[in-house]
Structure 1
Amino acid sequence: MQQTAEPAATALGPLRIEVTFPDDRAAVVDWTREPQQRLLRALGAELAASCAVGQGTGSPYTLRNRARSCREWARWIASTEDAELRVGDLLPSHLDGFESHLRERHPESSRTPYARIADIVWILRRLNDRHGDFSPAMVRRLAHTSAGPVGFYAPRDAYAPHVVEQLRAAARSDVDRAVRQLTVEGPTLLSRGQDPRVAEWDSDANVAWEICKRQGQFTRQELADLVGQAAADEHSPGRLAPLLYATSRDVFALLLLFCLESGMEVEAARELTTGCIKNPNRGYVQVEYLKRRRHGQEWNTLRVRDGSPNSPGGLLRLALRLTASVREITGSPALWQFRTKEGGLITGFSASAVTYMAQSFVSRHGISDGVRPVELRMSRLRKTYKAAVYTVTGGRMSAFVQGHSPDVAAAHYADIPSLRDLHEQAVADGLQDALDEARAPSVLTPEVEAHLIQQPADATELVGISPTEVGPLLSGESDLWLSSCRDFFDSPFGTKGKACPVSFFGCLGCGNAVITRRKLPAILGFLNHIEAERAKMPEAEWTERFGKARQQILRLVLPKFSENDVLSAKAVAESTDPLLFLPSTLFGGH
C-alpha cells in the first residue's frame, strides 16, 4: 500500500497560511488584511493542522472553503464587537447571531448558511478537544451544528440511459481520435522531421521535430518571430503539438469513460497515479486510489475489468500510453497529464478544470436530454454507474454496496429519482407475489395425507380447516374436478353463502382448493386438453384463456409430488386416451 507523507512544513506568519499537501498540491490563505487577528490566528493554526493526512482537510478546495467561512465570520464579528476577541471570549451568541445574519442574506432554500456554520463549528470543536479554552455555555453550543434547516438540496440523480449513451459515444470518439493521432500520425510525422535550422521551416515534420526538441514548449508566436506570421499559421505548433502530446480534451475523455465504466468517485479518479494498476489476474485488475473523505482509511483498492480498451483497466492503460510523452518531460507520477494550447504541461486535474472541460465537452459534441443541453456534472457519474448495477442485479444489495455501508448505499445511491420506477415495480411484484401465494391451492402429498389420518388435530395448522372437516376432505366427499374444496359456498371469488362462480380450473388459483394425489389423473388430463387447444386458436387467445392454468399446474402442483406419483397418475389418465402433449421433462423422460 502506498504510504503518504505528512504535509510539508506549514508556515503561519502574519496570518498567511501556506500548505503543501502530500500530493504536492499547494494552497495559500491570506488573512493579513482581515479584522479579528487574534481569533483568526487561533482558527488558522487549527485549520493548518487539519491539513495533515487523515485530519479532515484533504484538499485545497476544502481548505479554501473553510477559510472563507472563518473570514466571513471574523468580518461579521468585527461589525458587532469593538474589541479583538480571543477564542476564550467566544459566546454562543457569536455563532447564533452570525447564522441569523447569513439566513437573512440567503434564500430559505440555500445551504450556504448551514455550510458556513458547519465549517466554523468543526474547527471550534477541534480547538476545544485540543485546548479546552471555551466556557461551559460555548461547549454546550458546540454540541450541535445549527438550530436552523440545512436548506434544500436536490439529490444527485443518475443520468438517463440515452444521455449515458451519448456521453459514452462522444468520449469514445475523442479517445479513438487521440489514439490515432498519438500512436500513428504523430510518430509517423516525427520520423520524417529534421532540424528546421538545416532543413528549413516550411514543413510540418520539421516543425514537429522542433516542438519535440523543445519538449512541447514551442508556440505559434515563437515560430512567427522566426519565419513570419504566414508560415506560422500554415505550420502552427497549436495544430501539430496534439499529434505528439495528449491534450486536455484527450485526457478528459479518458477520465469520463473511466468514471462511467468503473463507478469510482471523480475526486478519487482525478488523483490516480501511474502506479495505480495492481495485481492483474484473469481479466481483472485492482486499482489503488486515494479517497480523502474516508478518514483513517484513505487508501483503497477497486477491482475492475481489464483487457479490452473499453474496460476500466484498459482505459487506464490507454491513459498511460497516451500521456507517456508528457510524463517523460514532467517526471510526475500523476496519471492525467497533458499539454495546454499555450504549450504548458499540466500534471493533474483540478475540480474547477474538470467542470470547465465538462462544459466544453457537452458543447462540442452537442449532448442533450432531448430538449436542452445536458449539464454534465462528473459527480453524477458514480450514481449513474451504481444505478446501472442496481438495475441489472434487480436491487441485490450485495452487488451494490461496494465501497459503502448498506445504509449509505441505500440512502445515497439507491434512493434516487431514476430508480423510482424500479422500486415501484418491485413493490407491485411483491404485492402480486403475496396475492398469488394467498390464492395458491394447498397441495397435500401422500405423506401429509397419512399424517392427517393419524393426527386430525393438526389439520388447522397444515390445511387451515377444523379437525372435523378432515374426513370429508380426504374421503372425496368435498371433491370438485381438479381438487377438493374447503368450502364451496365461501369462495374468495364470490359471495359468502352462494356457490363458487368461477370455472372448474379456477381451483388451480384458489386458496380454498386442496389438491391430493387422487386428483393428479384429472389434472394431467386437463393439462393434456389445454395443450391440445393450443393448436386450435391464436397464441394470444390461448395464453389469455389457459396460460395461467398451465403455469399453475407445472409450478405449483406437479413439483410437490414424487416422480412415481406422477407416473402412476399418468398411467391412470391414459387408461382411456393417451396423454399426447405432456412435457416429458416433468416425468423423468417417460
Structure 2
Amino acid sequence: MTRRGRGSTGPGRPSGLPADGYQAPPPVREGTSGELIVDFHGDDDRRASYDLGKLPMVGWHPLLAEALALRIGPSGGHRTLAGAKVSWGATSRWARFLQTTEPQPTVPEKLTRAHIDAFHARSDASLRTRYGDMLEMRLQFGDSHLKGRLPADAWDALNRRLQKTMSKAVGGYSNGELDRLTAAARADTARIARRIRSGEHLIRQLSDNPAQLDSSQRDLAQTLAAMAATGEVPRLDSGWDIRRRRADLASHLALTWGDLAPLMTLLALVTERNGESLKELPARHRILEDRAVELVVVKRRRGTKRWFETVTWEIGPKARELHTPGGLYLLLLELTARSREISGSSSALCLWRNGTRGVQGRDEHCAPFEVDLDGSSIAMSSWAATRTKPLLADPPAPAKAKKNQAGKAPGEQEKTSAPKRPTPLGVTFNRIKTTVDVRRTKQLGGHLPSSAKSNTAQVLFTNYLKDDEVIREWGEAVITEALADAEQAALDAHAAAVGRRGQPTVIPDAESSQQLEAAGIPSPTASELADGDLDTAWTACEDHDHNPETGKPCDDSFLACFHCGNCLVTRAHLPRLLALLEALGTLRQRMSEDAWWERYGTAWVAVRRDILTKFSPAEVSKAREHPLPDALLDLVEPPWEQPYGPTA
C-alpha cells in the first residue's frame, strides 16, 4: 500500500489493499525456546514485545498471553506504549503474586475467591496500585473471547464493585505564580535563542568576513563550523568537567537536556496543550499568508481514529515570537534545525545528548521522545528552584486569629509561630494545563462548551476545573453575585407591586377580635378575621370582591396576596407561612435558579422581608416546633403550570 492521505480514495479509486499473500501477524507468537511473546504496535507507531517466559506460573501463560494480546492488540483498550506498560505491569504482578499463595493455583481452573481476595488485600502495594491491578485484570479476563475461562466463583470475586481511590486534586497556580512562571520561562527561552543564534552568526561570519573576528572568536567559529559540517562534538582530552564543557560547546548550535524545562514550560503556557502533545509536535507544517502556521497535533485518549487534530496557531510579529503559539513553534524549529537534520527525525523537538560509550558522534543528536514519552528527564521543578532567581510559591494564607483563652492577662500577646521558609514552586504539565484552562474559562464567562479547547466540556470540568481552588472561589463569587442580582430583582418587583396594590397588614400580637380592633381593624372585619372566615391559602383577605388595581373581584394567584393591600396576616397564619417557605425551598432544588426566581422569587422575598420580620424570633421558633405539611402550593396553580409535578 503506497497511497496515503486525503484524496487517496474516491469514486473509481478504491482503498489500498495489502499485497497478495499478506498474513496478519499472530497476536501471540512462540519464541526460540517455546516461550510465549506478545508484540505491541501502537497507533503512534511505537512498539514493544512482552515475554511471558520471564514470569512464573507456567500453567497460566496461555491465558495471560491471550488476555494481554486482546487488551493491547489492534482492537484493545490500550493503544499507546504507556498503556501497554500498565497492562504488562498488572499481568506481571498477578503472576508473581499467585506464585506466593498457598495452595498455589497452578492453572486458571484452580483459582478461587480466596486468591482474588488476597490479591486485592495484599500488603506489599499501595491502595491505588491494588485498585488499578484489580481493574486491569478484570478488563483482561472479562473480554468476550475469554468468557468462562475462570471459575464462576473467582470471576464473581474479581468482578466486584471496587471503591475508587481518591487522588489528590491538582490545583493550578495563583495569578502571581503564573506571572512569575511565565516571565521566567520566557526570559530563559530568549537566552537559549540568543545563544544558538550567536553560534550560527559566528559560522556565517567565519565564511563571509573572517577578518572581523578576533583570535578567540575565530577558534570558536572554526570549531562550530566543523561541528556543523560533521554533526559531531569533539571529544575533549582532559579535565574533571569534560561532560559539562562538551555540553557547553554543543549548546552553541543545539538544544541540550537543560534547555527542555524552560522551553517546554513556555510551550505549555502559550499553546495551552498538554505535555504529551508538545513532545510529539511534528516538524511538518504549513504557513498561511505569513500570519499563522498549520500543523497536525496528537491528542491521545480520545478514542479510535480521533487522535489527530489540525490546529492553526497565530505567528504574530517577530518581536513577539515568545508570546504567540505559532511564533514559538517556528522558533523551536529554528533552534532544533541542526539536530533534526543530523538525526533525520521528523519531530519538531530534537536535541543533543551528552553520549556515553554506546552513543557517540552523530548519534548524540536525537528526538528524545520519539521512542518513549517518559518525561522524567524534563526537570521543570528543578529548573524553577535552581535558577539564578528561583521561582517560589505564594506564602500560605495567614491562619485566622484565635480568640483569647480565659485566664489570660489583659493585653497579653498571643505567641506566633516563626514564618515558614519560602517554598519552591513545583512545575508540572498538569498544573500548567489546569491553570491555562481556568484562565480561559474565566475569560469566557464560565461557558464550558466555549472554554473546551483540546478536551470535551465534561473532561474539562471533571479533570481540570472541578477541584481547582481558584475556579471554585471564582464560581462561588459569580453565583453569589447572580443570586444577589436575582434577589434584588425580586425585591424591586415586589416593591413595584406594593406601590400599585398597597402593603399587606401584619398584626403580630393580636388574636381575638378585641385585640384586632385595638390594632386598628374595623369591628366586622376583626370578628371575621378572628374566626378564620377571611382566610385564603396562607393569609386572609380583607376585601376579596375589590381588587386594589381593578376594583373587580380578585382572580389573582394566592401567591400575589403578599403584595396586596387587602392582605391580612396574624399569628395564626405563621405556621402556614413557614410551611410555604419549606415547600418553596423544596421546589428550588428541583428547578433551575432562573426559573425559580422568576416564578416564586417575589413571594419568597415578601414573606421573608416584609412579613416574618414583623414577628419576634421567639414566635417564629415556637411556630417551627409544630410544622405543618404544605398541601396548598400544588392547589393554588393550575396543574399545567406546575414546573415539576406535585411537591408533596
The verdict on a shared fold, with TM-score over 0.5 as the criterion, is yes
* Structure-2 change in CA distance of 1:201 and 1:167 (3 Å): closer
1:261 maps to 2:261 = no
- Contact kept? 2:36, 2:51, Cα under 8 Å: yes
Match of 1:113 among 93, 105, 130: 130
- Contact kept? 1:38, 1:86, Cα under 8 Å: yes
Which residue of structure 1 aligns with residue 308 of structure 2?
A: 300
Tell me how far apart the structure 2 counterparts of residues 120 and 140 of structure 1 sit (CA, whole Å).
13
Tell me how far apart the structure 2 counterparts of residues 174 and 269 of structure 1 sit (CA, whole Å).
18
Match of 1:218 among 233, 237, 254: 233
- Equivalences, count: 451
Secondary structure in structure 2 of the residue aligned to 1:245: coil
Tell me how far apart the structure 2 counterparts of residues 471 and 307 of structure 1 sit (CA, whole Å).
66
Tell me how far apart the structure 1 counterparts of residues 243 and 151 of structure 2 sit (CA, whole Å).
73
Which residue of structure 2 aligns with residue 335 of structure 1?
A: 348
- Contact kept? 1:7, 1:20, Cα under 8 Å: no
1:96-147: CA deviations, max 9, x gaps? 321012xx3456xx41210121222222123x43565334445545544x54
Question: CA shift at 1:87, angstroms?
Answer: 4.2
Tell me how far apart the structure 2 counterparts of residues 229 and 169 of structure 1 sit (CA, whole Å).
36
Which residue of structure 1 aligns with residue 170 of structure 2?
A: 156
Secondary structure in structure 1 of the residue aligned to 2:121: helix
1:130-173: CA deviations, max 9, x gaps? 565334445545544x54x3323112111222222222122212
1:315 maps to 2:328 = yes
Secondary structure in structure 1 of the residue aligned to 2:437: helix
Say which structure is richer in helix. Answer: 1
Q: Percent identity, aligned pairs only?
A: 18
1:368 maps to 2:402 = no
1:100 maps to 2:112 = no
1:384 maps to 2:420 = no
Tell me how far apart the structure 1 counterparts of residues 290 and 228 of structure 2 sit (CA, whole Å).
38
Tell me how far apart the structure 1 counterparts of residues 25 and 229 of structure 2 sit (CA, whole Å).
34
- 1:529-544 map, 5 Å: none
Match of 2:471 among 409, 414, 419: 419
Secondary structure in structure 2 of the residue aligned to 1:111: helix
- Contact kept? 2:247, 2:354, Cα under 8 Å: yes
- Contact kept? 2:185, 2:263, Cα under 8 Å: yes
- 1:425-464 map, 5 Å: 425-441=477-493
Which residue of structure 1 aligns with residue 538 of structure 2?
A: none
- Contact kept? 2:350, 2:366, Cα under 8 Å: yes
Tell me how far apart the structure 2 counterparts of residues 348 and 467 of structure 1 sit (CA, whole Å).
87
Report the AA paired with residue 134 of structure 2: I
* Structure-2 change in CA distance of 1:362 and 1:9 (3 Å): farther
The 10-residue stretch of structure 1 (312-321 or 358-367) with the greater mean CA deviation from structure 2: 358-367
- Contact kept? 1:304, 1:312, Cα under 8 Å: no
Is there any run of 5+ residues in structure 2 with no aligned partner, and where? 7-17, 209-214, 395-421, 502-540, 553-562, 575-600, 604-648
Match of 2:455 among 396, 404, 407: 404
Secondary structure in structure 2 of the residue aligned to 1:155: coil
Tell me how far apart the structure 2 counterparts of residues 280 and 141 of structure 1 sit (CA, whole Å).
58
1:498-545: CA deviations, max 9, x gaps? xxxxxxxxxxxx979xxxxxxxxxxxxxxxxxxxxxxxxxxxxxxxxx
1:32-67: CA deviations, max 9, x gaps? 342112323432344245444563323333322322
- Contact kept? 2:548, 2:566, Cα under 8 Å: no
1:323-345: CA deviations, max 9, x gaps? 11111111111121111133622
Tell me how far apart the structure 2 counterparts of residues 54 and 261 of structure 1 sit (CA, whole Å).
35
- Contact kept? 1:335, 1:348, Cα under 8 Å: no
Secondary structure in structure 2 of the residue aligned to 1:113: helix
Is there any run of 5+ residues in structure 1 with no aligned partner, and where? 450-463, 475-484, 497-509, 513-590
* Structure-2 change in CA distance of 1:486 and 1:234 (3 Å): closer
1:469 maps to 2:547 = yes
Question: CA shift at 1:79, angstroms?
Answer: 1.5
1:194-224: CA deviations, max 9, x gaps? 9xxxx99992122222322331x324xx232
Tell me how far apart the structure 1 counterparts of residues 475 and 551 of structure 2 sit (CA, whole Å).
42
Question: CA shift at 1:261, angstroms?
Answer: 2.2
